[in-house]
Amino acid sequence: MELIIGTRRWSTWSLRPWLALRKTGAAFTETEVELRRGEATQADLAVYAPSGLAPVLKDGDLTIWDSLAICEYLAEKYPAAHLWPVDPSARAQARSAAAQMHSGFMALRSECPMALDQVPEARAVSPACQADLARLARLWDEMLGRHGGPFLAGSWSIADAFFTPVATRLRTYGLNLSDYGDHGAGSAYAARLLEDEDFRVWEEAARG
Ligand SMILES: N[C@@H](CCC(=O)N[C@@H](CS)C(=O)NCC(=O)O)C(=O)O
């Protein structure tokens, strides 16, 4: 398999399926395409998939694009890796959380892009971004409480891959979840995501 990813320092969409793929233990190659945010990049990426966006997974003659679709494909291909929780209710909630991240938290995403090469520095954020952070703190608190941790729906799942970039944003922009209603569990969870050994491999490569 080949995973085509965007610039590691800030391609959050690429990081998610990359983490899921690492958790399967399957062998894969990586092709990093530099994202220049324009037509040139889309032309580079269009060679791999019609979306003209990273990430893209190639498995033989099959092409899969979009981070969530790639993760779903991996979950089906490698059932023993339990990329989604075994328990149906935990699985349903893990899927809800991943979908919420995939299609939401717009203010947090646009105001606080992942920047793994940036020195952490506290930043003031807009009311829309504050509302996203409060929503995030509540979501994490409820899921960690209900499923008992250490990850969102119990053991590590695709939902955690989707929130790993958020943990980097909290760190980079000095955003403290306790200012948004977290009682400690959410901050500890964010720290856990950043300690993940696969994430560390990504981060090291991103920083060159
Ligand atoms: N919904 C898509 C979003 C993919 C996406 O927006 N990828 C960005 C990189 S993070 C991209 O390829 N941008 C092209 C560009 O920068 O020109 C997914 O989940 O994979």
| Domain extents in the chain | 2-81, 88-199
The model's pLDDT over 53-69, given as tens digits with 9 standing for 90+, comes to 999 999 999 999 999 99
Tell me how far the alpha carbon of residue 18 lies from the centroid of ligand 1, in angstroms.
14
Among 16, 19, 41, 53, which residue has the most ligand 1 atoms within 8 Å of its CB, making it the best to mutate? Answer: 53
Residue with tokens 């009682």: 183
The CATH H-level superfamily of 2-81 is: Glutaredoxin (3.40.30.10)
CATH topology assigned to domain 88-199: Glutathione S-transferase Yfyf (Class Pi); Chain A, domain 2 (1.20.1050)
Nearest CA, atom 1, ligand 1: 66
The model's pLDDT over 161-196, given as tens digits with 9 standing for 90+, comes to 999 999 999 999 999 999 999 999 999 999 999 999
Alpha helix ranges (H) inside the chain: 12-24, 39-46, 67-77, 88-103, 106-111, 127-147, 158-172, 185-195, 197-207
The pTM score is 0.97
70 Cβ inside 6 Å of ligand 1: no
Nearest CA, atom 15, ligand 1: 37
Least confident window among 25-39, 92-106, 130-144, 191-205: 25-39
Q: How far apart are CA 154 and CA 199, in angstroms?
A: 19
Contact 3, 62 (CB under 8 A): no
